[in-house]
């Protein structure tokens, strides 16, 4: 890269350029995160700021997810987890909840061909048994159509809550202990991880938290123990390729010590 290129690009408050080509040149492909988690927050606020119905914001948020999924495949990020609908979101107005359920079904039907073509394996994590029949059908369809995907695992957290995930894991482990298939002394971090919804996948290396919030919102509490956080004021519908690349560059500039010390 020529000297001074970064300085001539429009930069953010973090000092990172807003130029996709330059950001890609700053990335080390060998040090990309194995797993990126995103909390898709700010859809409603995005719409309200524009005098639009909240549903418009949710649809724009789905479009942002599509672009980030495409970029993950392009870059070679192996796993992306997106927080789509939490167990607490049922408290929202019934019209908004119904729209979100319908949007999931629409997204699944519209995107499945591209997801399959691009080698994307879709997994829905959460208490799926509590979802409407049409959503369950869409989940089954996505699972069947994309099962052979090997370029990206896309985890969609729907009716998901991290505390319930841990409860479900504990219940499953307790059942094995009760049945004599597992001894209490055998229970360790590996056993617990193997009973979570994300079993078999690496824990997230990077969590992207848009909308300027500083809370986890009951998302992947166990898995995020040593994850690097990237917090941005950008609302999710405005979060695009450049924003994602900025997050990756910021991630690669950090030193991950996992409780150790600098040497």
Give the distance, in angstroms, between the CA of residue 198 and the centroid of all CA atoms in the same chain. Answer: 12
| 91, two tokens | 């408290």
150 is in an annotated binding site: no
The catalytically annotated residue of 19, 28, 63, 89 is 89
d(CA 37, CA 222): 13
Hey, what are 65's tokens?
Answer: 């997810």
- Residues contacting residue 175 through CB under 8 Å, at least 6 positions apart: none
Q: Could you say which of 41, 203, 205, 243 is catalytic?
A: 41
Please check if 90 is assigned to a binding site: yes
Bridge partners of residue 208, in order along the sequence: 38, 230
34 is in an annotated binding site: no
Packing angle, helices 241-252 and 54-75, rounded to 10? 50
Q: Residue 228 annotated as binding?
A: yes
DSSP state of 132: -
Q: Is 42 annotated as a binding residue?
A: yes
Report the DSSP pairing between strands 79-86 and 120-125: unpaired
54 is an annotated ligand-binding site residue = yes
For the chain, strand residue ranges (E) read 35-39, 79-86, 120-125, 152-160, 206-209, 228-231
On whether 91 is known to bind a ligand per the annotation, the reply is no
Q: Is 89 a catalytic residue?
A: yes
The answer to whether the beta carbons of residues 152 and 106 sit under 8 Å apart is: no
63 is catalytic: no
* Virtual torsion, Cα 105, 58, 222, 195, nearest 10 deg: 0
The answer to whether 222 is annotated as binding is: no
136 is in an annotated binding site: no
What does the alpha-carbon distance between residue 90 and residue 136 come to, in Å, rounded to a whole number?
Answer: 17
* 46 assigned binding-site residue: yes
Residue 95 labeled ligand binder: no
Any known ligand binding at 209?
A: yes
41: annotated binding-site residue?
Answer: yes
The verdict on whether residue 216 carries a ligand-binding annotation is: yes
Question: Known catalytic residues?
Answer: 41, 89
Q: State the binding site.
A: 41-46, 54, 58, 86-88, 90, 92, 209, 215-217, 228
List, as residue ranges, the binding site for Mg(2+).
41, 228
- Residue ranges at the known binding site for substrate: 42-46, 54, 58, 86-88, 90, 92, 209, 215-217
């Amino acid at each position: 890269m020529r000297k001074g290129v970064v300085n001539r690009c429009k930069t953010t408050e973090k000092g990172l350029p807003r130029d996709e080509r330059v950001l890609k040149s700053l990335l080390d492909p060998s040090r990309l995160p194995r797993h990126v988690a995103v909390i898709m927050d700010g859809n409603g606020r995005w719409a309200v700021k524009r005098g639009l119905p909240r549903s418009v914001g949710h649809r724009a948020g789905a479009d942002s997810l599509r672009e980030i999924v495409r970029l993950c495949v392009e870059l070679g990020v192996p796993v992306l987890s997106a927080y789509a609908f939490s167990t607490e979101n049922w408290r929202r107005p019934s019209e908004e909840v119904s729209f979100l359920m319908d949007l999931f079904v629409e997204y699944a039907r519209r995107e499945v061909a591209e997801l399959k073509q691009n080698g994307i394996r879709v997994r829905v994590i959460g208490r799926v048994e509590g979802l409407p029949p049409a959503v369950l059908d869409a989940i089954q369809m996505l699972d069947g159509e994309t099962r052979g995907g090997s370029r990206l695992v896309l985890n969609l957290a729907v009716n998901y809550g991290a505390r319930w995930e841990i409860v479900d894991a504990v219940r499953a482990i307790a059942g094995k202990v009760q049945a004599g298939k597992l001894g209490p002394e055998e229970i360790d971090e590996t056993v617990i991880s193997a009973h979570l919804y994300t079993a078999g996948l690496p824990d997230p290396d990077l969590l992207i938290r848009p909308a300027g919030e500083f809370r986890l919102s009951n998302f992947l509490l166990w898995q995020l123990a040593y994850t690097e956080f990237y917090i941005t004021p950008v609302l999710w519908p405005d979060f695009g390729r450049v924003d994602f690349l900025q997050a990756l560059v910021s991630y690669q500039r950090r030193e991950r010590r996992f409780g150790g010390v600098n040497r």
